[in-house]
Amino acid sequence: MDGEGQGGYWAPAVLPLRPGQQRPGPLRPGAPVAPAPYRQPLVLPMVVVLVAVLLAAALAVRRGQDAAAVGEIFPVRQDAPAAAGWGPTYVDEQGRPARWDPCRPISYVVQAGWIPDAGRGDLAEALRRLGAASGLEFVDEGDTDELPSLARSAYQPDRYGDRWAPLLLGWVPPGATDLGLGSGVQGMSLSVAVPGRAGPSLVSGQVVLDAANRLAPGFGPGTTDGEVLLHELAHAVGLGHVLDATQVMYPRTTNSESEFGAGDRTGLATLGAPAGCHPAPRAAKLRPAP
Ligand SMILES: [Zn+2]
């Protein structure tokens, strides 16, 4: 069962949100990783390891791509400056940001095994806000027993049919996943982009919150599930970090009410429905197998 797509490769990004976390500096695949400044020592080593592993996978695929390959995808590792308002999660070699097709609903399933009491309500509200700002439509396909994983395939025909696997959303304890939750990492977003002639397409992903470290529900002041949900879900639809504390995509949580700022909204509109349809390549097994 080979089925590799035309030049397709998976380019997942692990984008944690936790107060004090900063991105590692630029990495060369295979090169020793130099620690970057950070404020939560428990977080960064984990992030660096994950990023290095994923870049190595992407590099291996690039070597394996043929000359007809459509393009390459690069995770954006520099937080956008405040003046930019927002930044993308992935770009291709032409700098075009990865985006979903706003002309098709985005399906999601929920891992509800550890969902907090207010979890469904908070998730629905976060998706409503995300949809209002981006024009993207989200469709709940119900609960799943699938656990989030670094190795989750974006194409699971046996489970989800002949299409890209839906977004997997939920709360799990750190021991139930290898995504690196816990030890200061409250939420993770891992999205999958594939190259295309009109620019890269986001086609699947996972958003997971730590079920063992409970935050306050809702979207009020302080560090809340709502804030983490907005942040991680915005990653899943293509936004990266911005160094502006008034934006949800600031790398750290804040004490303010959780709502998208002007830069967040500009980014969501730029990647969403106002930018027009963006059909994704047909679903297929990506290489290399993660
Ligand atoms: Zn983040």
- Please give the residue that has the higher pLDDT: either 24 or 277: 277
User: Which tokens hold the place of 16?
Assistant: 């944690």
Closest CA to 285 of 61, 84, 114: 61
187 Cα to the center of ligand 1, angstroms: 8
270 Cα to the center of ligand 1, angstroms: 19
DSSP letter (8 states) at residue 175:
G
Radius of gyration (C-alpha) of the chain in whole angstroms: 17
30 Cα to the center of ligand 1, angstroms: 24
193 Cα to the center of ligand 1, angstroms: 17
Q: How many CB atoms lie within 10 A of CB 266?
A: 16
Report the pLDDT value the prediction gives residue 217, as an integer from 0 to 100.
96
CA dihedral 283, 152, 126, 276 (to 10 degrees): -20
Is the pLDDT confidence value at 269 over 70?
yes
289 Cα to the center of ligand 1, angstroms: 25
**CA distances from residue 220 to 33, 113, 166, 223 in whole angstroms, order as listed:** 38, 25, 29, 8
- Mean pLDDT, range 76-82, rounded to an integer: 94
Is the pLDDT confidence value at 248 over 90?
yes
- Mean pLDDT, range 194-198, rounded to an integer: 91
23 Cα to the center of ligand 1, angstroms: 9
Is the pLDDT confidence value at 29 over 70?
no
182 Cα to the center of ligand 1, angstroms: 15
- Mean pLDDT, range 214-225, rounded to an integer: 93
218 Cα to the center of ligand 1, angstroms: 19
Sign of CA dihedral 122, 205, 90, 200: negative
List, as ranges, residues with CB under 5 A of the ion ligand 1. 15, 17
Is the pLDDT confidence value at 270 over 50?
yes
- Mean pLDDT, range 157-174, rounded to an integer: 97
Residue type, 2: D
The domain 2-275 having CATH identifier 3.40.390.10: the answer here is yes
* Average pLDDT score over the chain: 80
Q: Determine what percent of the chain is predicted with pLDDT higher than 90.
A: 64
φ/ψ of 215, rounded to 5, equals -100, 170
- The band of 70, judged by pLDDT with boundaries at 50, 70 and 90, is low
Is the pLDDT confidence value at 108 over 50?
yes
210 Cα to the center of ligand 1, angstroms: 14
267 Cα to the center of ligand 1, angstroms: 14
53-57, 69-73, 148-152, 155-159: the lowest-pLDDT one: 53-57
User: Which tokens hold the place of 200?
Assistant: 């890269």
225 Cα to the center of ligand 1, angstroms: 14
3 Cα to the center of ligand 1, angstroms: 33
- Mean pLDDT, range 104-132, rounded to an integer: 98
18 Cα to the center of ligand 1, angstroms: 8
- Please give the residue that has the higher pLDDT: either 76 or 23: 76
Sequence-ordered list of residues with C-beta below 8 angstroms from that of 124, at least 6 positions apart, any chain: none
- Per residue in 134-156, pLDDT (tens digit) is 999 999 999 999 999 999 999 99
46-55, 72-81, 104-113: the lowest-pLDDT one: 46-55
DSSP assignment string, 44-112: HHHHHHHHHHHHHHHHHHHHH--TT----EEE--SPBPGGG---BSEEETT-PBPB--TTS-EEEEEE-
6 Cα to the center of ligand 1, angstroms: 30
Q: How many CB atoms lie within 10 A of CB 54?
A: 21
Cβ(88)–Cβ(76) under 8 Å? yes
Lookup result for tokens 């930019």: 84
Q: Spell out the domain ranges in the chain.
A: 2-275
